[in-house]
Amino acid sequence: MPDGDAGRKVAPGSEYWRTRPSSVGREYAEVVAVVLGVALAGSFVPVSYHFFGYIYLLTVIALSLRVGRWPVLFAAVLSALTWNFVFMTPRLSLAVLNLEDSLMLGTYFFAALIGGQLTARIRAQEREEREREQRAMAFFHLTRALAATRTLDEAAEVALRQADDLFAARTALLLLDEEGRVVVHAASSFRPDEQELAVASVALQSGRPAGRYTEQLAGVDSLHLPLRSAGLTLGVFAVRLPPEITELTSKQRDLIDGFSAQIALFVERERLRAGAEREKLLAESDRLHRTLLDSVSHELKTPLAVLRSAAEKMDTPDEHKRASLTEEIRTATQRLDHLVANLLDQTRLETGELQAQPDWCDVRDLVGAARRAVGEALAGRTLKLEIAADMPLFMADSVLMEHVLANILLNAARHTPGGSPFRLTAGLEPGRARIFITVADSGPGIAPELMTHLFQKFRRGVTARAGGLGLGLSIVRGFMLAQGGEVVAGASPEGGASFTVYLPYAAHGSVPNDER
């Protein structure tokens, strides 16, 4: 942001901030001018001198509404002397008066003095109340605005803009990064130069204000206030006031300090919240790590035990037994291969290394490849295909789609009784915007409490058979999102569960040429 103040919009509250104490000399000159003006005007008015006593009393009360206490005292003295010198007989003389006039003059003097002082005190109290209310409103608006923010960046933007408007100044927020270096926040309305950054570092290290209006490195243009909370220095709040403000009153300094304290409290709150979030993420990561280790350890035990047992018995001369052992080894190897494949797929999804490579696909080819990948998990089951006769080719990553359909079929096999049939339906939605592939079973269906986290990692239904890590549906969802599609779970007409995958559809201009 530019550092200049030209064209800067000043907030209404900044008039209070920029109001400087009135000139004492000007107030005394105003008192002299008014008192002598009344005397000059009265010299041409042929009335009793008693009349001008009332006029001067009103004049002193009126002056007390404009000037301070000492100028009011001076006005009472000067008006009494002027009244005596100009209007009381003998005129133009301070001669000794008779007792009656002396009592009247003394009464006037004390009445004017007391009235003026009381009026000045009331005016000063009213001004202090107004200033106190303005400061309270400034803090109220700042606190309310900070409470509505959700991040440290939003809070910094809100706080610095309010400070800019209220102080008619430029402000900057300097915070410590992870390496302990002072970094200027992007919401700052001016960029401290190297000298000011050095002053900010001094304020940060000493925990005391530095820069302009202080006794510490006062040669720079900005005031640097350390953000302290709970005994820690969290950063620096820098304020660059207009050049005409050569000094700060105690009230102005209190207002800046109050803003600094509010910003420090919010910075501390955000750091505590961020720390709590990190702790939460670490705890969740640790929980998932333990779950993964426990699940993998459990899943590896069974196939490894089968492989070890089969390997120890392979030296039998019985051909039939060796064939049976070979089949057990093959089944255990497939189970291990599926386990490792799921772990690798989940790792690819979480690291963001998965990149879909779409090409024209035929749904029948994908279903055939998925059935072969599932292998004997579908043994003894009927898979009824209901593919629309006009089902077109569509763009998809054939490898990912093969994994998607295989995982859905395998999930259905693990959650339904043996021998129960499946139904696979594929077609084009009426609006021709998406193609769909649905796998439905006749099992127990999906429990309502499981629907909200069905596609999360390590989630398995209570009816699931032994085996598996609970990664299959999580991988299905990740693979579909990678292709710009989605997966939806629901209930099938047969009473079981159904899973439908959707992919965007765009008609091709001509049938792709497979001979390349």
Mean pLDDT check: name the lowest of 17-31, 111-125, 170-184, 192-206.
17-31
Look at residue 9 in the predicted model and tell me its pLDDT.
43
* Higher-scoring residue by pLDDT: 281, 258: 258
pLDDT average, residue stretch 402-428: 86
Q: Which amino acid is at 28?
A: Y
**Cα angle 445-451-452, degrees, rounded to a multiple of 5:** 175
pLDDT digits over 115-168, tens only?
Answer: 777 877 887 787 777 777 777 777 777 777 777 777 878 888 888 888 888 888
Look at residue 49 in the predicted model and tell me its pLDDT.
72
Contacting residues for 490 by C-beta, under 8 A, at least 6 apart:
497, 498, 499, 500
Contacting residues for 511 by C-beta, under 8 A, at least 6 apart:
393
pLDDT average, residue stretch 159-179: 83
- pLDDT > 80? residue 488: yes
* Higher-scoring residue by pLDDT: 309, 288: 309
- pLDDT > 50? residue 516: no
C-beta neighbour count of 147 within 10 angstroms:
10
Confidence of residue 424 (pLDDT cuts 50, 70, 90): very high
**pLDDT, the chain, mean:** 77
Look at residue 500 in the predicted model and tell me its pLDDT.
93
Look at residue 364 in the predicted model and tell me its pLDDT.
92
pLDDT digits over 430-484, tens only?
Answer: 888 899 999 998 888 888 777 777 777 666 555 555 555 566 788 788 888 888 8
pLDDT digits over 310-343, tens only?
Answer: 777 777 777 787 788 787 787 777 666 766 666 6
Q: Quick check: pTM over 0.85?
A: no
Look at residue 96 in the predicted model and tell me its pLDDT.
59
The Cα-based distances of 282 to 47, 285, 286 in angstroms read: 94, 5, 6
What number does CATH give the domain 150-276?
Answer: 3.30.450.40
Class of domain 359-504: alpha beta
- pLDDT > 90? residue 221: no
H or E element: which one contains 359? Answer: strand 359-361
Write down the domain spans for the chain.
14-144, 150-276, 359-504
